Amino acid sequence: MMRRPLASLRLAALALWLLLSGCATQLAPAYDRAVVDGLNAAALETMTLLAAVSAGTEPASFAVREPRYNALIGRLDALALLAGARPVPRNGLTDAINAALAQRGGPPLDDDSSTAPSTHAIRKIAETVTKLRDTDRKRGVTAFEAMAFKGQIVIYLDQAITYENYLQR
């Protein structure tokens, strides 16, 4: 007669163990497939646009490119919102790093750990494409400037993509 309550107790204990085992500590935001997919799509679209302006542009043909610029900027802004909407768990790591830096007389790191670093990188990509669009509209861009815009965008893209992929754990 005592076997059934014991079996139930064991089952409950196992369920509790599985539940608690799943509650691993989280210090970084959750991996979000939608952000990663959005980044990959935006990277492709950005590189295609940069290839189209790589030889330099003239303002006379800006109207042809404008819809592509605007669509890309809109997509990047939406992606930055999506990436920044995830809660970032509060942790004392920055405080610990700053305490160690202070002991050595070094400048502290800023405490902007409330948003994922990829959010900033995506915003900067959007800003760079916006600057490229505005310069293109105003007087066209030189081939050299197109190369510099591309260099800046690639660096931020690498930061965002590396971080977001790293969150898959």
Partner 1 sequence: MPLDISQLVLDMQAAATSVLKADVTTFRGFSDRQLKAIAQQAELVRLGITSGQITDETREFFLDGLEDMALSFARTLRGLLIATVEKVWNALVGVLWKAISAATGLILPFPVLGELQ
Taking the least distance from each CB to partner 1, the nearer of 72 and 150 is 150
Task: Say how far apart CA 87 and CA 114 lie, in whole Å.
Answer: 8
Among positions 72, 79, 124, 129, the unique one binding partner 1 when judged by CB under 8 A: 124
The radius of gyration of the chain from alpha carbons, rounded to an integer in Å, stands at 24
In angstroms, what is the minimal distance from the CB of 83 to partner 1? 12
Which of these, 100, 41, 98, lies nearest to 74 by C-alpha position? 41
In angstroms, what is the minimal distance from the CB of 163 to partner 1? 5
Among positions 93, 99, 100, 101, the unique one binding partner 1 when judged by CB under 8 A: 93
Taking the least distance from each CB to partner 1, the nearer of 72 and 122 is 122
Q: Indicate whether 162 belongs to the interface with partner 1 (CB under 8 A).
A: yes
Q: Indicate whether 69 belongs to the interface with partner 1 (CB under 8 A).
A: no
Phi, psi of 107 (to 5 degrees): -70, 145
Among positions 7, 17, 51, 64, the unique one binding partner 1 when judged by CB under 8 A: 17
The DSSP symbol for 107 reads P
75 class by beta-carbon count within 10 Å (0-12 exposed, 13-18 middle, 19+ buried)? middle
